[in-house]
Structure 1
Amino acid sequence: MGLTVIGEDSVENYLFSLFGKVPLEIGLLIGQNFGQKAYIVSPIRTPDPEELSDEQSEEPKKAQPKSLDQFDIGWVAEHARQVNSSLPGGIKVVGIYVFASPDVIQSGINGRLKQILNAAWKANRLEMQHATSVVDNKSLCPGNGILLYVSSNTKKISCKSFDINNPHTSAQPTDWKCQNFIGRCHYLRCAFLADASIMVRSSSSGNLSNEIMVSLTNVNKQLTAAHAMINSELREPSQLLVTGKNTNTAQTFTVDLYNSYKNIANATTKPQEADYKYAININGEMDCFAYVHNKATVAEAIHAIKVDIIRSLHARIRLLCEDVEQNEPKLNERRYRWSIPRRVKYEHPKFRLKICDYMFKDEDVKLSLERISDLYGSEMQTCKMESAEEFPDEQLIKIPTKQSVQPDATNPPQKSADNSERASSMQLIVAILIGIIAIIIFAWFGYNLK
């Protein structure tokens, strides 16, 4: 049985609006996919790099791509990564669309278009690996990439799918249907109380962001072991989220995740000082939300919230690391504080789902709207911002002293041969307070390991 792809009417309306306006266009498809079904919420046009360049630049602009070979695969992948980071749980980049002549489409289905699809899908491969690790049922993380293509001559819409996990696969036939479903999607909200530590070993190499992302294993373990309650009730995972006659009515659910003390202790265990160079302590409450289709099971709802937690952590840490790396000289100071960006939400005016951005303390709403508009289009510029998170009062954040982290007394580090070498370490503290998120980075120098 092949994959069935269900798209909102607005998807076809947008694709048909391109007829006679542009010869060639490529963009992303955002939606949900599970089992043998996929839902397309909206197409998101990938902007040309020149559109986001400085308007004052005197460099001549390049002509818009007229063939598939002229599309920058890396640029499409970066667009997919940024869009995916701004989406709520349950919604993700599920494929790409292309508007072109039949000859261009047919020549590129198993070639250039497949390469672009793979790049867009795998732009978030690390996040997908973590998302897969928090569930036992791997069917909740399907690997079907969707290619939707429209003939610029006949307006005919066709759809194919690829098994992203199999690089040798060819395009598979897919059924395409139009059906309004967004109005029936259920909204999930969760105030997740995080309590875990992320450790980066001293032997790790590479940039700071990648090292920390790989070290999110403890958080994944904590999420995997977490018990979920929906509207304060324990539910059977295989049970439908909504039963009875109300399945076609959108509803809001509160999801609570609970960890045992044993799981929290395992997630927050700190290795001896000589073993790591960065320690990120995550403590407090995160504002998380997700959407699921009207026939979703309890397991799908819980998975959507867990993915949103992982995605939000990834986005914040990545942005923070970029800020840290740009201000590397400040790491030489004995103590320095960085604030992690808070999560803000905007409701998209077309498909009526909330998307998000991450704002640093020194940024304003205008700058945030510019970033969202770059990703989703100019219609986002009039949206209103909402947020359940605030930046903390700096007086509420305590900076630990050197004595607050000590080597393991049962396994002390060895002295060097000349007993004169000194080890230095830097500890990265992430404090996510109730409705508050902040990161403290500080450094110790001249710490004599004995």
Structure 2
Amino acid sequence: IFSVEKSLTKRRLWKPAEEEVSERAALQICSSTKKVVCRTYDVQDPKSSAKPADWKYQSALSASWLALSCTVNVNIHIPLLATSPNHDLEKNTKNGLNRWSKQIEDSVFLINGQVRGDDTELLEGQKKSKGATQSGTHFFDVKVLTQLSQGSSHRSTAAVQICSGSINLKGAVKCRAYMHNNKPKVKEAVQALKRDIINTLCDRCEILFEDLIINEAPHKKNFERAYHVLPQRLFVPIAGSSVMLSDYKFGDEATEEIQERFVEMLDQSVQTKDIHIAEDIST
């Protein structure tokens, strides 16, 4: 658990909130006796020991989720310093995404066209029938307004650096977050959506770089201009739930490969009709 948390924290471009729970649960199920053992660990304390925890099953819990979705237009310019060895694309890209993630953190989020107070309940003033589907899922349409420039209260500095190239990330990404229907606050919903926006772009860049390392021709010159399409996002429903899982695919990746991946990861068979491609190939 501590190793997984350390790996996730290393890649993460957002910081956990001060009031965020630092405990993680480990669930063990014996396949023969069906005995369930649950323990929790405080990942902020490497010396913490396992604490026993109760595990209770609740009916219809997986259907009680609220969904927030948005489309974010991305246009990020990342300079490559001439002093950077072999351009170090991955490191430079992460630095550029880190600056962009701060813009997302400072953005204004309109929920169903309105600015909502952080401490108000997400469902406050919402009619039960509005935005709900037959499955009972309540959807919120979110618009993200990014600040173009900082206010006069923020001081900024300019630096002149010699660059030998640049990376441009352009397109529109589809983002989604789920909140449990138990009086969630607006700030919790916005926080979850911010994290999905940041995570999805960072994950795609990481997947692309891994693919380039494996498949790129070794003789390719650094100064050549190249265009690469980031993996497309897709959503797959979880059986018996209104929540959908997220995954990614390259344009030349077959549907069978996606289905095999879900069987390998979750032991879940996915029908072709249930694979929802969220974005166009030009994204």
Q: Give the TM-score band, short-chain normalised.
A: 0.7 to 0.9
Residue 161 in 1 paired to residue 37 in 2? no
- Pick closer, same or farther for the CA change 1:231–1:323 going to 2, 3 Å: same
**How far apart are 1:279 and its partner, in Å?**
3.1
- The reply to whether residue 119 of structure 1 matches residue 6 of structure 2 is no
- Aligned residues of 2:74 and 2:171 also touching (Cα < 8 A): yes
Larger helix fraction of residues: 1
Superposition pairs for residues 335-346 of structure 1, below 5 Å? 335-346=225-236
Q: Name the count of aligned residue pairs.
A: 268
Contact kept in structure 2, 1:148 and 1:158, CA below 8 Å? yes
SS of alignment partner, residue 281 of structure 2: coil
Q: Which runs of 5+ in 1 are unaligned?
A: 1-116, 393-436, 438-450
TM-score by length of 2: 0.81
Give the whole-Å Cα distance in 2 for the aligned partners of 1:259 and 1:355: 27
Once residues 278 and 272 of structure 2 are traced to their aligned partners in structure 1, the CA distance between those partners, rounded to angstroms, is 20
Q: What residue in structure 1 maps to residue 137 of structure 2?
A: 250
Q: Tell me the residue number matched to 1:171.
A: 50
Residue 294 of structure 1 deviates from its aligned partner by 0.7
Task: Report what 1:197 is aligned to.
Answer: 77
- Which amino acid is 2:56 matched to? K
Distance 1:357 1:250 in 2: 21
CA distance in 2, matches of 1:126, 1:143: 16
**Structure 2 contact 68–177 (Cα < 8 Å) conserved:** yes
Distance of 1:214 and 1:370 partners within structure 2? 34
- 8 Å CA contact 2:235, 2:278 repeated in 1: no
Give the aligned partner of residue 237 of structure 2.
Answer: 347
Q: Provide the secondary structure at the position in 2 that maps to 1:379.
A: coil
* Residue of structure 2 equivalent to 1:431: none
Distance apart, 1:199 and its partner CA: 4.4
Specify which structure has the bigger relative contact order, considering alpha-carbon pairs within 8 angstroms and separated by 6 or more residues.
Answer: 2
TM-score, reference length from structure 1 = 0.53
Map residues 174-189 of structure 1 onto 2, 5 A cutoff: 174-179=53-58, 180-189=60-69
The 1:238–1:202 alpha-carbon spacing in structure 2 relative to 1, beyond 3 Å, is farther
Displacement of 1:284 in angstroms is 3.9
Rg larger for? 1
Matching residue's letter, 2:65: C
Over aligned residues, Cα RMSD in angstroms?
3.2
Q: Which residues in structure 2 correspond to 1:66-81 (within 5 Å)?
A: none
Q: Which residue of 1 aligns with 2:188?
A: 300
**Cα deviation, residue 333, structure 1:** 6.4
Q: Which secondary structure state, in structure 2, belongs to the residue aligned with residue 337 of structure 1?
A: coil
| In structure 2, distance between residues paired with 1:177 and 1:254 | 33
1:189 and 1:255 in contact (8 A); partners too: yes
Shift of 1:332: 4.5
> Secondary structure of the residue that 1:290 maps to in structure 2?
strand
1:131 alignment partner in structure 2: 14
> Does the C-alpha gap of structure 1 residues 159 and 209 become closer, same or farther in structure 2, counting only changes over 3 Å?
same
Matching residue's letter, 1:287: K
1:261 is paired with a residue whose SS is coil
Paired amino acid for 1:157: V
Query: What is the deviation of 1:357?
Result: 2.2
Matched letter for residue 174 of structure 2: D
Post-superposition CA distance 1:372-409 (Å, at most 9, x none): 332222423555222231123xxxxxxxxxxxxxxxxx
- Choose the corresponding residue for 1:260, options 128, 139, 147: 147
CA displacement 1:1-57 (0-9 Å, x = unmatched): xxxxxxxxxxxxxxxxxxxxxxxxxxxxxxxxxxxxxxxxxxxxxxxxxxxxxxxxx
For 2:75 and 2:233, locate their aligned partners in 1 and report how far apart those are by CA, in whole Å. Answer: 19
